[in-house]
Amino acid sequence: MSLTMPEEILLLLLDDETGKPVGLPGPAGDLALAGAILMELALAGRIDTDLDQLVLVQSRPTGDALLDEVLARLASAASAGGAERTSRWWIQDIAKTGPALRAQVLERLVAGGVLRRIEDRFLWVFPERRYPKATGRAETAEVRRRLRGVLLEDEIPDPRDALLIGLAKSTGLVPLVLSEAERAGAAARLDHVAGLEELSRSLSAATRDVYATLLRQGAVH
């Protein structure tokens, strides 16, 4: 099963043992998901973007329900006229619907057999849903293995992995891939790979700027 960037981001955000979301500060996961969706749309030729502008190139649906939902929002804004929205604006706007988008991705991974859905009760009362990774499915460990290979073993990254690494760096997800000691040793390599792709430099920088703004406003705890 070939996974999209939003799906691979979601796999990084789930604890391998419990199937629960890993503890991240504030909206890091939602910003990463928003960035991954826009990156997929850019790779599909539907949008063009730099740090300051996001332009709709083609509104034809991709056939991916998650991407097409966001694409429809972009197309609606474009048809309404007015000033073009920046990449920063769209990343923050899409991230506001992060929980709903995340639920879609999780259910798709369950339908594909990559994750299992378990309904539990917290303190025997409160409903709790978690998504353990299915055993025997290579996808559950593949994204982390690939990114570690690029950062620690100097493997040549393909464009999608370079984009994922740039996104992970901008939203603080690198600790989900490398230990503290590994991060210290791979810092220069991380910076290099994150800057390889123009799309990574633009969308990742926009994501980083949104995150930094939220930090300054005290919206991230």
- pLDDT, residue 74, reads 93
The residues facing 129 across adjacent strands are: 119
Spatial neighbors of 38 by CB under 8 A, at least 6 apart, are: 47, 49, 54, 70, 87, 90, 91, 94, 203
Region of residue 107 (left: phi > 0; alpha: psi -120 to 50; beta: else) = alpha
- pLDDT, residue 67, reads 96
- pLDDT, residue 108, reads 93
Domain spans of the chain, in order of start: 5-216
Whether residue 194 contacts residue 169, with contact meaning beta carbons closer than 8 Å, is answered with yes
Round to whole Å and give the CA distance between 156 and 83.
40
Round to whole Å and give the CA distance between 130 and 18.
7
- pLDDT, residue 53, reads 81
- pLDDT, residue 24, reads 66
Q: How many CA atoms lie within 13 A of 196 on its CB side?
A: 19
- pLDDT, residue 56, reads 92
- pLDDT, residue 147, reads 93
- pLDDT, residue 123, reads 53
- pLDDT, residue 137, reads 74
For the entire predicted model, the pTM comes to: 0.86
- pLDDT, residue 83, reads 66
- pLDDT, residue 119, reads 76
Instruction: Provide CATH code, domain 5-216.
Output: 1.10.3630.10
**Residues lower than pLDDT 70 in the chain:** 1, 23-26, 51, 82-83, 120-128, 136, 215, 218-221
- pLDDT, residue 121, reads 58
- pLDDT, residue 128, reads 65
